[in-house]
Amino acid sequence: MTTGKTTRGREELVAARQQSRGLYWTVGLFSFFANMLMLTGPLYMLQVYDRVLGSRSEETLVALSLLVVFLYGIMGILDYTRGRIMARVGARFQDALDKRVFDAMIRRSAVSADSNAQTGLADLESVQRLISSPVLTAAFDIPWTPIFLAGIMLFHPWLGMLALGGGAVLVFIALMNQLFSRGPMIEANVASHRASMMSEEIRNEAEMIQAMGMRTAAFERWKSAREKSLVQSVSANDVSGSFTSMTKTLRLFLQSAMLGLGAYLVLQGEVTAGAMIASSILMGRALAPIELALGQWAVVQRAVRGWNNLAELLSNVPPELTKTELPKPKAKLDVQSLTVVPPGDTRAQLKTVTFKIEPGQALGVIGPSGAGKSTLARALTGVWRPAGGTVRLDGAALDQYAPDVLGLHIGYLPQRVQLFEGTIAENIARLSGQPDSQKVVAAAQKAAAHEMILELPDGYDTRINAGGGRLSGGQMQRVALARAMYDEPVLLILDEPNSNLDNEGSMALNKAIRAMKEAGSSVMIMAHRPSAIQECDTLLVLDHGAVKAFGPKDQVLKDTVTNHQQLQKTKAMGGVK
């Protein structure tokens, strides 16, 4: 990963961070006064040992103690306030980038298996967690470390040299911690992510795993990934923990050493007892931010990796330009010399495909497995961009429509049906928080799913999970068909729409296609089964990504399909297989 490739993404991240520039300055100002007030303890010790004990004045002790209580109270308020401000800075940073990162993650994941895209939101959260954590507040305190060390130097050069040497050793340990723990931490996170992804896959396919007796094998497979993750995590924690323990031990030793050296200097008459105690307190305060940073180093490393991943993701997926809103198109699709190369591949799955669909027509796309039917569907819905050629809907290229707008004009039923957590109505309404009841019911009726939905325990308000829950494969497909037909799209693309349908469902599908055609919409059906192309007017035959035949259905079937008579018989029987 080079800097040039991520410059644009880093600029977006910096711009989002700079929205809170004023708050950063406020925290810096509060940190100035909070660290000034950190001198309260050392000064109090100086006054108690050098003035109060010498004068034996109780009034002076009471006055000093009351002043210390007040100053510590102010310091606590400042420290609490800057922590609250940084929490809100982190929340503002995440809120500013949530939609941008979410859109980039969806767009990238739709065309690639890039792991940075899949973890985009988690990366954003890791940066937000760092901004809100005490370790970033400690970054405002670290510049005061030299000042505190210089204060110790004023008491006596030996004390200052001890403090300076101890601070240098702690900084060296911090650098070594970063050097030695970075690799193990990255490996641990990668292994943990793989184990989590595998467990999610197993959970999603729990029914199949249970039915096919794969539970033990699946567990062993997951356990292997889990054990690797645990080993890497333990190794990373061992490395990081050793440096953390070393830092804590050294800091405590330095405070004791400071007291010991101070006591020696007191015996020599070179410093006062108050200076001895004050030096020890200043030493602890000077080294505290460094120790805190080391203790939170895992948070820092995760955030740095998240920042780099986000920079790469946002650079690879630039923001979408605002599109001029076009009027609702007519159901006229014109495809000219379309060539599609799947993301991550070098071979074209579709080669110079050309055809047209007029309003009220249904086009069937047939061909052997791997011919490019699903690739064509993805290209026509705008998911995959053409490597060559053009796809126009009512004269406008697909990229002239905003993705959400294009989705309203093109209904899509993918080959692999996936529903989402929510109600049936919300799924049909494409996850709208407030579904339009009339449009939901109308879409379900067109998909012949209305009666089936009413038979569910709560009808349209029945809640389902991502796997469909209590719904069968055929029921899920009919709900997904209703989703594709929601809000009257002008073009309906169906990829193997009857793969899970029985005879009744297939007849209902053909009825829905007829209704779409009568309404002036166009329909494109990728199919293997004869009943799926019953309502088609034209056929497109693909073979190895190229057009083998295109034209009226009967003529294409007669020229290319050997079992043409069987298909005609199927049509005459109304789709009964």
Handedness of CA 282, 283, 287, 288 (dihedral sign): negative
Q: Give bridge partners of residue 140 from the DSSP assignment.
A: none
- Give the C-alpha separation, 340 to 166, whole Å: 63
- The pLDDT, as a whole number, for residue 468 is 63
Same domain, 202 and 258: yes
Among 74-83, 196-205, 547-556, which range has the highest average pLDDT? 74-83
**Is the pLDDT assigned to residue 577 strictly greater than 50?**
no
Going by C-alpha positions, the residue among 381, 336, 347, 358 that lies closest to residue 526 is 381
Structure confidence by residue, pLDDT tens digits, 265-281 = 888 888 888 888 888 88
What is the distance of C-alpha 373 from the center of its chain?
30
What's the domain range around 16? Answer: 1-133+299-319
pLDDT band of residue 284 (cuts 50, 70, 90) is: confident
Three-class SS of residue 420? coil
3-state secondary structure of 394: coil
Condensed to tens digits (0 to 9), the pLDDT of residues 482-524 reads 998 888 899 999 888 877 666 777 777 888 888 888 888 899 9
Dist. CA 77–CA 74, nearest whole Å:
5
Token pair 């080391």 is at which residue? 294
The set of residues, in sequence order, having a beta carbon less than 8 Å from that of 543 and lying 6+ positions away, is 367, 368, 371
Within its chain, how far is the Cα of 224 from the centroid?
26
Close Cβ partners of 190 (under 8 Å, ≥ 6 residues apart) = 232
pLDDT digits (tens, 9 = 90+) for 432-468: 878 889 999 998 888 888 888 898 888 888 888 776 6
CA 165 to each of CA 161, 162, 388: distance values in angstroms, whole numbers, following the listed order: 6, 5, 66
Cβ atoms of 296 and 133 closer than 8 Å: yes
Q: Taking the model in full, what pTM does it have? A: 0.72
On whether both 245 and 347 belong to a single domain, the answer is no
Q: Is the pLDDT of residue 251 over 90?
A: no
Task: DSSP for 477-500, please give it.
Answer: HHHHHHHHTTT--SEEEEESTTTT
- Quick check: 498 and 532 in contact, CB under 8 A? yes
Residues 175 and 288 in one domain: yes
The torsion region of residue 164 among left (phi > 0), alpha (psi -120 to 50) and beta comes to alpha
Last residue of a domain, one of 319, 352, 367: 319
pLDDT number for residue 5: 62
Determine the 3-state secondary structure of 335 from DSSP: strand
Tell me, what's the pLDDT at 4? Answer: 54
Statement: residue 530 has pLDDT above 70:
no
pLDDT confidence of residue 112: 64
Could you tell me the CATH number of the domain that includes residue 248? 1.20.1560.10
SS3 of residue 126 by DSSP: helix
324: Cβ contacts below 8 Å, ≥ 6 apart: 400
Domain membership flag for residue 457 = yes
Do 36 and 168 fall within a single domain?
no
Domain with 453 in it: what CATH number?
A: 3.40.50.300
pLDDT at 504: 72
Write the single-letter amino acid at 553: K
* pLDDT tens by residue, 380-423: 888 888 888 999 998 898 888 888 888 888 888 888 888 888 88
Whether residue 378 is found in the same domain as residue 306: no
d(CA 507, CA 513): 10
pLDDT tens for 339-391 read 998 877 778 888 999 999 999 999 989 888 888 888 898 888 888 888 889 99
Structural domain includes residue 326: no
Domain annotation covers residue 325: no
150 DSSP 8-state letter? H
Residue 1, pLDDT > 50, answer: no
Q: What angle do CA 262, 268, 269 make, to 5 degrees?
A: 90
Identify the burial level of 432 via C-beta atoms within 10 angstroms of its C-beta, where 0-12 means exposed, 13-18 middle and 19 or more buried. Answer: middle
Residue 29 banded pLDDT, cuts 50, 70, 90: very high
Are residues 500 and 372 located together in one domain of the fold?
A: yes
Do 426 and 565 reside in the same domain of the chain?
A: yes
DSSP, res 434 = S
3-state DSSP assignment of residue 575: coil
Per the structure block, which two tokens stand in for 489? 């799209």
Instruction: Tell whether the model's pLDDT for residue 2 goes beyond 50.
Output: no
Specify the range with the lowest mean pLDDT, choosing from 46-60, 192-206, 512-526: 192-206
Region 528-551 average pLDDT: 83
Is the residue at 252 inside a domain? yes
Q: Could you tell me the pLDDT band of residue 562, with boundaries at 50, 70 and 90?
A: low
138 domain-assigned: no
Q: Please report whether residue 125 resides in a domain.
A: yes
What are phi and psi for residue 135, nearest 5 degrees? -65, -35
- With tokens 């055929």, the residue in question is 474
92 and 19 Cβ atoms separated by less than 8 Å: yes
Task: Answer yes or no: are the C-beta atoms of 510 and 534 closer than 8 Å.
Answer: yes
Distance (Å) of CA 58 to CA 52, 62, 277, 294, 410: 7, 6, 20, 43, 86
Chain segment 206-242, per-residue pLDDT in tens? 766 766 777 778 778 778 878 887 887 787 777 777 8
Categorize the per-residue pLDDT at 256 as very low, low, confident or very high, splitting at 50, 70 and 90.
Answer: confident
CB 135 within 8 A of CB 300: yes
Give the confidence band of 183 by pLDDT, cuts at 50, 70, 90. confident
Q: Please state the domain count of the chain.
A: 3
Domain co-membership, 477 together with 360: yes
For residues 396 and 264, state if they share a domain. no
Contact 448, 441 (CB under 8 A): no
* Of the candidate ranges 25-39, 288-302, 398-412, 506-520, the one whose mean pLDDT is the lowest: 288-302
Per-residue pLDDT of 67-110, as tens digits, reads: 889 998 998 999 999 989 999 999 999 999 998 888 888 888 77
The answer on 56 and 194 residing in a single domain is no
Write out pLDDT tens, residues 137-166: 888 888 888 888 888 888 888 988 888 888
For residue 258, being part of any structural domain is answered with yes
Same-domain pairing of 267 and 313 = no
Q: Indicate if 85 and 181 belong to the same structural domain.
A: no
In which order are the strands placed within the sheet that holds 362-366? 410-413, 491-495, 522-526, 362-366, 538-543, 546-552
Query: Taking the C-alpha atoms of 125, 129, 131 and 132 in order, what is their torsion angle to the nearest 10 degrees?
Result: 130
